[in-house]
Each structure stands twice: as C-alpha cells, then as structure tokens.
Structure 1
C-alpha cells in the first residue's frame, strides 16, 4: 500500500484512463441533468417577507423580534396554515394516518421557516410548487401572527377590564355603606362635617363670652358641640373613609377606561418591510449545483475504482 497514493502513480493512471474519466464525467452530467429535471424532482418556488414587531409587550429577556418568532413558529400558527391551505392535500399526507401530525410538521418545517436577520427583522420564507400559493402562505402567516398577538393582548386586557370592574363595584358598595353611616350621623347628631368643629367651637366660645349662654341659638350650638365631642372622631373616620373610597374609585375608573380602550382597539402588531410576491423563477432544485456535485462525485469514485483495479501494475 506504500505506493497506492503515490502522486506519480495516480498521474500516470489518470493519463492512461483519461478517456474513461471523460466518459464517466459525460455520463454523470447527462444522468444528473435528466434526474434533476421536473420529471423527477418537482420544482419549488420561494416567497419571502420581512417584518418588524410593533405594539407588543416586553415579557422577558427576549427581544421583541425573538418574541415575534416564538409566535410565528408556534403550533397554533401551523394548525391555522394546515386548515387554511389544505396542506395535507398539498403535501399528500393521509389525514387518517396515525402519525399524521408528525408528517405534517416535518413537511411544513421543511418548506416554511421564520428566522431573525442581522437587522432585527423577522424573515419568513415559504417554498411551494405553486408560486402564488407560496406568496399567499407567506402573507397569511403575517395575518395569523397579527390575529394571534391580538388574541393574547385582548385576553389580558379583558382580564384587567373584568378585574377593575369588580374592584369598582366593590368600592361602590363600600361607598354606599359609608354614605349611609354619614347620613345617620348627620341626621342623629347634626354633624354635617368634621370641618365644622372650629366654627362651632368659635361660635360657642363667642356666645359664652357675650353672656348669651341661655339663648336658644347658644343651646343649639352647645348641643352640636357636645355631639362633636362624642361622635366627632367617629364622624371624621367615616368621612375620611368616604373620601378615600371616592379617590380609589376615580383611580380604578381611569385604569378601567385605559384597559377597555386597549381591549377595543383593532391594531396590527407588525410593520411589513418586504411584502411577499409570486416568484417567476424556481428556487429548487438548483440543477447546476446538482450536476456539478454529481459529476465531481462520479469522477472521484471512478478514480478510486481505477486505483484499486490498477494496484500492483505500477512499481
């Protein structure tokens, strides 16, 4: 085996069998050109779209584009594509096959992809036998993406709308209780507001100073003063709770309106940078590459065969 890969021996053998190599190469070119043709390999056309994410929340350490790819590559989008384009017929997969979805996902993932570019756009690529269907599938993925993200956002906003409405209702019930307590205090003790303490005290002290302690007005003031002394602190507590509850309701109402506004919005969640269109030239197979690779492989294999056949004939 010392001279099996000897350069001189190999060159001599190639020159000796040069016509054999030419014949092998010619046959390889002809056969690879035939078998890479549309009669044996169905041509496929590629449609491409590029989109930027917009109006989405940052939910984790992932970038917005990475979150977009999570949705674009989700099974939910794939199921919608299966149904929208009857892909089981396109891919010739029997729905009754026990491994139907395994085959469908494998075929879909071979023909459809979504990846991030260096400029942070999401690039969608679709390969299909029909250039129009490839373009339509690419466009539908964008549509289904917007619908999916809208569903996610609406579900969250609806949850917040229901939650804030529940809190508003609860606070309104509390407000009615405090209102009833204040009405009772006002009716029973004549205390309109705790803010009247200084005014009542000043009037009462003025009446005492002028010697009108026996007048009816002074007695009324004295009664209110006594009521404030007994129930003033309780009235202050209830009044503060009443005001705090009104403020809480106002804040919750603003929050409710904001989430309701978001819930009722109909917006998109992507900016299309490059729209898909039906290709006018097939992208697969690349026949020249197949022919070149096959020819080189055939010639190299022939070289190994001739080396083995001629082994021992050269010193």
Structure 2
C-alpha cells in the first residue's frame, strides 16, 4: 500500500492539467431570423427550441467539416503531436483527439452546451467560442445559396422591366410626335371645341359673303381635321392615335409601377443578404477556466491505495485458503 501510494503520487504529479471551457447557446427558429422577412415585415428574434433546430445544430457541431476547419486553423497536429498533416494516421489521430476533447450536448433546459477541454485554458476557450461561430456560419449557409438564387431572380426581373420600360418610353415619345397627343387633360374636348367653333365661324362667314375670311377659316378647319393640314394636333391623327396612345400610356404606367416595386424588392433582398443575422442566441461565451477539471490527484492516490488494499486482501485470503488446504492434504495418512 505504501508502494502504491508512492507510485500513484508520482504518476499524479506527472499528469498535465486539463481545463474545460463551456459555451451555452440556444438555436433560433430560421424563419424568424430570415433577413428578408425582418427587413420587409419587421419581426423579432424568437428562440427555436424545436427538436429539428436542436438536431440540426448538434449535427453541424459534430460534423467532419467543422472539425477539419478547427484542426487546420489552430494547427492541432503540432499541438497534439500526432504527426504531419496529410498523413492518414496523423489525420485520424488528431481527429480522434479532437473528438475526445469536444462535448456538445442538449441539456434539460433545451439549450446546447458546447464544452472543449485542453491543457491550454486560453486555447480551450478560443476553440469553444470559434466552434460556436463556425456552427452559426454553417447553419446560415444552409439557406444562403437559396437566397442568392432569389436575389438573382430579383436582379433578372429588374433588368427585364428596365429594358421594357425604356422601350415603351421611346415608343410613347415617338407616338406623341407622330400623332401630336401629349397626354394633356381633356385634350379631345378642346380639339372638338375648336373644330365646332371654327366650322361655325366658317358657315357664318360664308353666309355673310365674306370670301377672304371664309378661305382662312377653311384652311384652319382643314388644319384641325386633316393630318396634312399643318396642325400638330388634329382630329385625324387624334382618332388614329387615341387607341395606340392609350394602350402605351397604360403599359407605361404599369411598367413604371412594376419597375419601382422590382427595384425596391431587389434592394431589400440585396441588403438582407449582406446583413448576416446570427442563427444562434449565445447565453454564455466560453471563458478561460479558473481551475483545472482534470486530473483529481488526491482521488488518483486514494483510489490506488484502496484498490491495492482490496487486491492485497483478496490475494492474502486466497493464499491462506491454499495453505490450509495444502496442510490438510499433507496431514492425511496415506491409505
């Protein structure tokens, strides 16, 4: 027992100190962290706590890509002294060591506790916090590609409407020049009024026998009613272009409204894509441990002494039983 105590003390003193750092966080509902909804509809961050959210985060946290990222970033091959990166045995050894030091669980309060242990307490805290950030990034990445596709659709729609808007605008300008219709309020009413008044003046002049005045009024009436009469706004062009121009006006106004909406939707989606909202709600960041978690040296010494005592009692008891049986066998007379 004395020898066991001495040996266990020596072994316990040679074991390195192990420190644990723990981060606690809640996964959030992806629908409430969608930037598109937050920007357009408002909204608030809601904690998920659903089974699928918890399972997704746990799966990401224990996945190989996350482990490889941390191993590469912190050069854990050198830290764990497993060998050179790229060697299969060394890669597997460092991965096993990393997984042994990582513990990510779902606790009874529907939160996730991520614990990482290492001989360096500062490194353990940094890795634990970095793991949370990587999990958050991977969790957002699940929907990021789809959101980029949606942004491309918004961009394509806005480009198409811009092109159609420009084409319709040029057609509208050409139609105005061709028919002399510029969209003035009550344009047809004024034209009809001028035609009626001019025609009435012409009839009155002809009735009075005023030939020179009648000739001038005929030219004025021709300018108001015929396209080659010289007037930009005339009845013939107005009748011909009314339907075409009304259709162009309607399409132009429709495209203008749709273009404004498409530009607003594109800018909102682009802003939402650039604004990365965390998918995790961190309750407690990992901090460097103030005391070691392993090894418990007094427990190692006491356990070694107790185990040695129990084994010694068992061995001595067996030896005593063996000796008694041997003495009885020797004491019996030979028949």
Tell me the TM-score normalised to structure 1 length.
0.68
- The alpha-carbon distance between structure 1 residues 55 and 188, as it changes in their structure 2 partners (threshold 3 A), is same
In structure 1, list runs of 5 or more residues that go unmatched. Answer: 1-25
- The alpha-carbon distance between structure 1 residues 268 and 211, as it changes in their structure 2 partners (threshold 3 A), is same
**Which residue of the partner structure matches residue 96 of structure 2?**
106
Aligned 8 A contact 2:23 2:284 in 1: yes
RMSD: 4.5
Choose from 166, 173, 176 the match for 1:176.
166
Counting matched residue pairs gives 286
Query: How far did 1:89 drift?
Result: 1.5
- The alpha-carbon distance between structure 1 residues 220 and 274, as it changes in their structure 2 partners (threshold 3 A), is same
Q: Secondary structure at the match of 2:87?
A: coil
Choose from 78, 82, 92 the match for 1:89.
78
Aligned 8 A contact 2:27 2:280 in 1: yes
Aligned 8 A contact 2:25 2:111 in 1: yes
Aligned 8 A contact 1:161 1:259 in 2: yes
Cα distance in 1, alignment partners of residues 237 and 193 from structure 2 = 16
Matched, 1:220 2:227: no
1:28-68: CA deviation from partner (whole Å, max 9, x where unpaired): 964884586243x4432111111234695569986555444
Counterparts of 1:199-238 in structure 2, within 5 Å, are: 200=188, 204=192, 207-208=195-196, 212=200, 216=220, 220=224, 224-238=234-248
Larger radius of gyration: 2
Deviates more, 1:303-312 or 1:124-133: 303-312
- The alpha-carbon distance between structure 1 residues 251 and 111, as it changes in their structure 2 partners (threshold 3 A), is same
In structure 2, list runs of 5 or more residues that go unmatched. Answer: 35-47, 203-216, 228-233, 326-335
1:2-31: CA deviation from partner (whole Å, max 9, x where unpaired): xxxxxxxxxxxxxxxxxxxxxxxx489648
Aligned 8 A contact 2:9 2:301 in 1: no
**Which residue of the partner structure matches residue 262 of structure 1?**
272
Query: How far did 1:135 drift?
Result: 1.8
Tell me the TM-score normalised to structure 2 length.
0.65
Cα distance in 2, alignment partners of residues 262 and 202 from structure 1 = 52
